[in-house]
Amino acid sequence: MAMLEELPASVEAALKAQRNGHGTDPLTLAVKADINTSGVIGERWVTMDADAIRVYSPNGASAAHLDLTIPVKEITGAKTESLVGGGALTVSKGSDVIELARYTTPLGGRMAGVARVMEAVAKGRDLPEAELEEVEKLCPKCSRALPKDSDVCRHCFDKRATFTRLLGYARGYKWQAIVVTVLMIGGTALQLLPGIIVKNLTDDVLVPKNEIATSVRIDRLVYWVVMMIGATVLGLALGIWRSRLTAYLSLTMTRQIRTETYTTLQKLGLSYYDKRQSGALLNRVTSDVNELNNFLVDGLQMLVVNGLMLIGTLVIVFTQSWKLALLVMIPIPLVIIGTSKIWKFLWGRLEKLWNLRSSMTASIAVALNGTRVVKAFAQEDREMARFNSKVGALYNANLDLENWWATLLPILGFLMTSGGFIVWYVGGKQVIAGEITFGMLNMFFFYLGQLYGPLQGMTRIADWLGRVLTSAERVFEVMDTQPDVADGTDSVAMPNMKGELLFENVSFGYDKARRVLENVDLHVMPGEMIGLVGHSGAGKSTIINLISRFYDPSEGRILIDGVEMKKVKLQDLRSQMGIVLQEPFLFPGTIAENIAYGKADATREQIMRAAKAANAHDFILRFPDGYDSLVGERGARLSGGERQRISIARAILHDPKVLILDEATASVDTETEKQIQEAIQRLIAGRTTFAIAHRLSTLRNADRLVVIEKGRVAEMGTHAELMEKDNGIFRKLVEMQHEVNKLKSENLVLED
């Protein structure tokens, strides 16, 4: 449990001098507040170790000034207090409240976490790692709070680089992109053509300067109308062609992005998922990628077409009458400034909306995964209330955002259309004075719509583009994450493992602040069965995780068949390991598909042979569809014992060299346990096996038992050898279990 920022040299020097002779306990806290003792923006550092809390002010000298020292043993509590524009971090010392530091609003979440850590340390308890992880999420550049499900800071990420990277997915489709560009230019030119036609139609036909025969005027009318129809139809055809080709390009790019994101998620280690909600990750692959898809299909071509339309319109109006064109341009700076201000104003609301949407998705995923528990405890109303709360918050945020858009966009629209009033007045006077023709005035009104329409669309695109780039950066964040467990350049193939494992001084912690395993040494020979025993939380499952290479040791190394596990190709390693969990996971599909999950090319005969070895064949045949029966979501149509035997059959068919049994019989009845034990005995034959068992008696047949106590190997030996130790840990565990079983038996007798 630690929250550590890198100390400046002056603070580090002062801390070293102050702690001289006071022990070398590691720091628990080292955090920076951003308001100094004068009450203005500046640094102030708070540190904490097992001895004391110290507050420093950097003063530019070789050592910072020590402002405050409070012994940890005298602290009775810690909290934050809200102030105008920020807050204060305080601790309680008896009846006194002492202010440690002040901070601005962006640091509020972090300082609340600091207060929780201080109070936890002072009271000698652990702070949940998930809570600590949540409060530590700050942008390393600007120290602003990051979203709960992302490390992307909306203030700091490079939007231009993100946009360039997004467009980079079109590189493989260069010629299609060129055709789309040509179609956009051609379509824009055809959209601009009617303005010139309107001018000629007005001046040559409707209001001609000279007397022209009626028949000639009608001929010209037909000519210009046909020209307008032709331009419109051709523009429509080019638009359809462009939209279809754009849809192909955009959807192809989106498919590639979605596939790469999911592929990356499959490659990432468990440590990545330990710190993130599955619903939030689901949101990256679905909602965020959908946002990219919508923009690539519609927004991008709207952005380009509107840009071309603006440029083309300005060129035409300035060549026709630069004076009138300048008057038309008067509202544009107001529109640009207004758009910028509106965007900055609404950005925080957009971010809140995205976070609420992600939170709601995560809530749905959690509730659906835990639906059996919800129903078992009759908590449907509670879950509905919780979901309604999130939906309500999302609704309010959405409504607030749309209300602002509904208010600000019409105002922006009025500013843009105000150019029309100028054209009516100034242009009308010029027509009356004979300076311009009525046709030119009509043309200006046509291009006024062509100018302000795209400009108004561009303001909405600015909102859209901001959302898209944030979604893109969140997706790229996943794609750029490097697996912490992966093959190296020096990885070696090991297609035929024997199953010898050697732990050499292995230490491991899921975070840097707390070790779960400490200096573990263990040598396991091929085909040997090892029983892992110990209290809950001792580190048994962590050893299993390291053997499976879900994580790598923090210190020391693990060797398999004399080769360091880190240097063995993951595919070779994992393909020769099998695991049977306490709560086996079955995929939606048939029983046969689940048994053959680790060996997709297995024949029906091989599947049935594995099921018989797992004592599963008989109950499978009792289903109407036999091996083709659907198991339901997570195997809901099967009992716990049936799911377990399917899991064992899957492991048997997989034929691993190293087998892991994690509480494989913990949650089944005695009769089912007997059948599972028989299946396990067939499964472990000739394999290196690691077994964790709730019932210690089931480990009697293990070659050795390894007792884990507080992350260390405390005892090792056979069942009989460990039972001979008078004050041994294993013997105490067995005696304790006997007492519990005895009490259960007596209670059953009394109930009868």
The three-state (H, E, C) secondary structure of 393-408, written as one string? HHHHHHHHHHHHHHHH
570: left (phi over 0), alpha (psi -120 to 50) or beta: alpha
Angle, alpha carbons 691-695-701 (nearest 5°): 55
Going from the C-alpha of 365 to that of each of 279, 362, 376, the distances in angstroms are 5, 5, 18
Coil/strand/helix, residue 335: helix
Exposed/middle/buried for residue 173 (C-beta within 10 Å: 0-12, 13-18, 19+): middle
The Cα–Cα gap between 279 and 361 comes to 5
Q: Output b/e per residue, 266-292; b: 16+ Cβ within 10 A.
A: eebbebbeeebbebbbbbbbeebbebb
Overall CATH class of domain 571-747 = alpha beta
Query: Can you tell me the distance from the alpha carbon of 653 to that of 651, in angstroms, rounded to the nearest whole number?
Result: 5
CA 506 to chain centre: 31
The token duo for 31 is: 């955090």
Task: Note the Cα 308 to chain centre separation in Å.
Answer: 37
User: What is the residue whose two structure tokens read 């979605």?
Assistant: 258
Dist. CA 675–CA 612, nearest whole Å? 11
The answer to whether the CB of 13 falls within 8 A of the CB of 63 is yes
**Model pLDDT, residue 233:** 93
Region of residue 488 (left: phi > 0; alpha: psi -120 to 50; beta: else): beta
SS3 of residue 150 by DSSP = coil
Fold category of 159-480 in CATH = ABC transporter transmembrane region fold (1.20.1560)
pLDDT of residue 422: 80
Report pLDDT for 154. Answer: 63
Please indicate, yes or no, whether the overall pTM of this predicted structure exceeds 0.85: no
Q: What is the pLDDT of residue 749?
A: 46
Q: What count of Cα atoms within 13 Å lies in the side-chain half-sphere of residue 234? A: 16
Spatial contact of 76 and 92, defined as CB atoms under 8 Å apart: yes
Strand, coil or helix: what is 687? coil
Q: Write down the pLDDT at residue 393.
A: 83
The set of residues, in sequence order, having a beta carbon less than 8 Å from that of 327 and lying 6+ positions away, is 419, 422, 423, 426
Cα(246)–Cα(251) distance, integer angstroms: 8
Helix (H, G, I), strand (E, B) or coil at 124: coil
Specify whether the CB–CB gap between 80 and 112 falls below 8 A: yes
**3-class secondary structure, 695:** coil
What is the spatial distance between Cα 463 and Cα 616, in angstroms, rounded to a whole number?
58
The stretches of 603-728 forming alpha helices (DSSP H) are 604-613, 617-621, 640-654, 670-684, 719-723
CA pair distance 480, 488, nearest whole angstrom: 17
Q: Which amino acid is at 732?
A: K
Tokens of 644: 């377990």
The single-letter code of the amino acid at 26 is P
Strands 517-524 and 86-93: unpaired
Rounded to whole angstroms, the Cα distance separating 346 from 405 reads 9
- Helix 174-201 vs helix 214-267: crossing angle, to nearest 10: 150
Report mean pLDDT in 10-residue bins for the chain, 752 residues.
69 78 65 79 84 83 80 86 80 86 78 81 62 53 61 69 81 84 88 85 79 81 89 90 87 86 81 68 77 78 82 86 80 73 71 73 72 74 82 84 80 74 82 82 80 70 74 81 79 88 88 76 89 84 88 89 89 84 81 86 88 85 88 79 84 84 63 69 80 74 86 87 83 78 56 49
Host H or E run for residue 363: helix 331-369
CATH for the stretch 3-135: 2.30.29.30
Identify the burial level of 619 via C-beta atoms within 10 angstroms of its C-beta, where 0-12 means exposed, 13-18 middle and 19 or more buried. Answer: middle
Domain range annotation of the chain? 3-135, 159-480, 571-747
* 409: CB partners within 8 A, 6+ apart: 456, 459, 460
Closest CA to 65 of 34, 44, 47: 44
With beta carbons less than 8 A apart as the criterion, state whether 148 and 122 touch: no
Which residue pairs, CB below 8 angstroms and at least 24 apart, start in 228-232?
A: 228/194, 228/197, 228/201, 231/190, 231/193, 231/194, 231/197, 232/190, 232/194
- DSSP-based three-state secondary structure for 85: coil
List the structure tokens of 367.
Answer: 């509730």
- The DSSP bridge pattern shows strands 77-83 and 86-93 to be antiparallel
Residue 603 neighbours by CB under 8 Å, 6+ apart:
none
**In the structure encoding, which two tokens stand for residue 372, read together?**
């059996």
Within 137-277, where are the H helices? 159-167, 174-201, 214-267, 270-274
d(CA 405, CA 385): 30
Burial class (CB in 10 A: 0-12, 13-18, 19+), 365: middle
